[in-house]
Amino acid sequence: MAATRPFKIPESVLVVIHTPALLVLLIERADQPGCWQSVTGSLDAPDEALAQTAWREVREETGIAHGELRDWGLTNVYEIYPVWRHRYAPGVTRNTEHVFGLTLPAPVPAVLSPREHLAWQWLPWREAADRCFSPSNAEAILQLPRYLAGGA
């Protein structure tokens, strides 16, 4: 018999991976083909540091293990999509998302986990924002020029 999985913690990170030239890495979800996003993931434990979660998720989802990680100090609270609510404890409908940016000097290939993602692509920031299925992800990408300019 398979072990039951613990419920996900309704606190997560969103990591916008980008270059100084405003190219943004997007990955396509395996469980929802056609849904493109930045790196996202929930805390593994209530005491896991947000930066630790961000680095763990970046490595797991893209294979990238370098770059300058920066906490944007931006937090989104949103309703969890019904298709994914079964992953959370009964009655949990909202998630708190902390936004980070990861600057790489230039685009690099992503190494994906096939069970999580189908494809990756580097796009100019506005095109990347338009491609995202998540409104909070699209908004974070639209804020990228401001964060790069030190406005955060």
Q: What is the pLDDT of residues 45-99, one digit of tens each?
A: 999 999 999 999 999 999 999 999 999 999 999 999 898 899 999 999 999 999 9
For residue 101, tell me if it sits in a domain: yes
For residue 1, tell me if it sits in a domain: no
Q: How far is CA 134 from the centre of its chain?
A: 10
For residue 3, tell me if it sits in a domain: no
Structural domain count of the chain: 1
The tokens describing 55, both together, are: 């680095």
pLDDT at 6 over 90: no
For residue 102, tell me if it sits in a domain: yes
- Domain with 26, as residue range(s), is 11-148
Give the separation between CA 57 and CA 116, rounded to whole angstroms.
Answer: 11
The residues pairing with 26 across neighbouring beta strands, listed in sequence order, are 121
Look at the pTM and tell me if it is higher than 0.85.
Answer: yes
Outline where the chain has alpha helix (H): 50-62, 125-131, 135-142, 144-148
Specify the CATH number for the domain of residue 76. Answer: 3.90.79.10
pLDDT at 1 over 70: no
